[in-house]
Structure formats: C-alpha cells, structure tokens
Copies of this chain bind each other. A is one copy, B any other.
Amino acid sequence: MNSKEIAKLAGVSRSTVSKIVNDYANVSDKTRKEVIEVIKKYGYVPHASARNLAGKFNKMIGVFITDVNHDSKKLRVIESDYFSPFTTAAIDYADELGYNVLVLVIDKNREFEKARKLLYNKTVSGGIFIGAENNVQEIFKLIKSGCKLVIIDQEKCKDKTLGKHIIVNSKNLEGAYNATKHLIEYGHKNIAHICGDMNKFSGLKRLEGYKKAMIEAGLPIENECIVEGDFTENGGYESAKKLLKNNKKITAIFASSDTMAIGAIKAIKEMGLVIPDNISIVGYDDIKIASYISPSLTTIRVSILNMVSIAVKSLVDFIEKDIKSSKYNTVPTELIIRESSKKII
C-alpha cells in the first residue's frame, strides 16, 4: 500500500494525499476527511525510508553507550545500572518529542565504527554518547564532519575549530566535594578515596573534589589513602582490601561510584569490620541497589532524568532548528544520607 494506491482508491491525486498526510493547507475539509477515511481503512503508513530519502530528516536518534568492561559473552550486570535508567529516560524524552531511539553498545568487540556508520548513512539524525572517554578523538572527528552530537560527562573542548556540539555534565567536582565534606562533618579525619578510571573525566573530577574538601578542612592528602578502582565492583573490592590492610587508621571511605562502594562493602564485611560502626562509606551515582543493599548506601545522586532531558531536548533542537554555537550544560547533584555513614563519637 502506497500513496499512489491510496490516491486511486480515494479518487484524488497523489499530491493531495501527500498534502493531507503532511498537514498542508489548500485541501477542503471534505476531501481531507474522505482521504483520511481511506488511509485508515487500508492502514496506510508512508514508507519511512522513502520519506527520509525525499528530504525529510529521520526522527531517530542514537544512544551510544560505551561499556569498556563488558564481555559480550555474559550479560552486563553492574554496568547496566547506569545504562538502564539512562536509556529508558532517553527513550521516554525522545518519544515525547516524536523521536525514536536506536541503542548501540560499543565495547571492545563492537567497534566505534558502527556508530559512525549509523550517523553517516543517516539512519539516525544525531546521537548521544555516554561513557565514551576512550573515543573522544573519534567523536571529535564526527563533529568536525558535521554530525550532530551530545556528549555526556566530557570536559569542555578548547579547540575552537571543533564544530558545533553539545556537552552535558553533572557537577562531578561539587558532588565529590560534598560527599567528602559530609564525612568530614561527621567527624572523620582519616578518609580514604577509591577513585575511578583516571582517563575518565568523571574519575578525575571526583578525585579533585575529594582533594578540595580535604585541603579545605586542613586534612592531609596521603597517597596511600587513594587507590584506583576502575569503576567496577571488583575494583572496589580489591581497593578496599588494599586500603584497609595497609592503613589501620582509616575510618571512612569515599568511593567514586556506588558500584565500587558495593565491592568495598563486601571486602569490609569479609575483613570482619562493621559498617558504619567501624567504617563509614559513601558512594556516588545513587544507583538503584544503593537503597536496597544492607546497610543502605549514603551516596551522591546524579539526576539522570535531568541530564537526559537536557541532552535529548538540545539534540532535537540541534537537529530541527540548528544551534548558533556549542552548548555546555551542567546539572547539580544531591547528597543522599543513608545508613552507611555515621558520626564519629
């Protein structure tokens, strides 16, 4: 069933059908009604590709998730805590604006190349990259070649020759600062930090936030109190073991992600210590499990809804109306106090 057949069946011309489908003027109410009747009767829907080809851009955006720790033979587990709400929210907001979402996971086995293809072959009219620290250079190339992109959690680019793009960040430094400050206000002095990947923007900024709070409070920043846990549960586990084995004075840990905090909790329990009586712990992200785990986790909530809403809306603006220049947005964080942190008496 195509517009030609509909035109024939309705006894009008193809251009009239087109006008009706695309809501144009210069069609009498009578004709409009009659044609719509036929369209409904035969369940006619304009062919998406033909439409796209004929000039109308695709109402489809890509959500590109980089998942470095993913082994394609097993189902993602911890990683999906971030992925899931983000993607779900993106689908929701995109839908509100009449857009569809194509989700692509990029990992070691699935190369970045696929994202490029989807953008170049116009399957999607734009895309949102999340967790793409390792592909920044590739993304910049895409931007330079005119792709309409949003990057989540990425440092502002100083290169003025880079084309128009959109960046959405959460206030990583501020969040980490508040997490550490919370522990300081609870009377802790020996506060360790399990940090994330140092080649990731968020990992770096959160470390900075930790340091800032420590310095402000006049507390020493000791190298042996900072361990890198690469944002995985196992990384958190190993880091906590290392920290507590070497340093008996530690009374609190700030982990750069809830996932690592959960690993750390496991390690701490195994070592016979009690949370929060012996050790307080604060995470980051407020993933779902944070409130279900025992003890429930004090953490920094990143408003994914907020970030995604901004990301999708700006992207659609970019696609439909273009933007004058690059945009840089930040969204605030919030300290969520639960059972895993406790005042030192």
Contact = CB atoms under 8 A, between A and B. Distances in A.
A294 B305 CA distance: 28
A292 interface: yes
Contact of A80 (B49, B88, B121): B88
Contact of A47 (B43, B53, B293): B53
A45 interface: yes
B91 A105 contact: yes
A104 to B, nearest CB: 7
A13 interface: no
Interface string A65-104: 0000000100111001001110111011001100011111
B43 A120 contact: yes
Contact of A292 (B88, B104, B122, B292): B292
Contacts of A120: 43-45
Given A80-B85, A123-B48, A91 B103 contact: yes
B101 A43 contact: no
B294 A121 contact: no
Interface string A189-219: 0000000000000000000000000000000
Contacts of A18: none
Contact of A53 (B50, B72, B92, B122): B50
Contacts of A101: 102-103
Interface string A15-33: 0000000000000000000
Interface string A268-312: 000000000000000000001100111000000000110000000
Interface of A: 43-53, 58, 60, 72, 75-77, 80, 83-85, 87-89, 91-92, 95-96, 100-105, 110, 114, 116-118, 120-123, 145, 262, 288-289, 292-294, 304-305
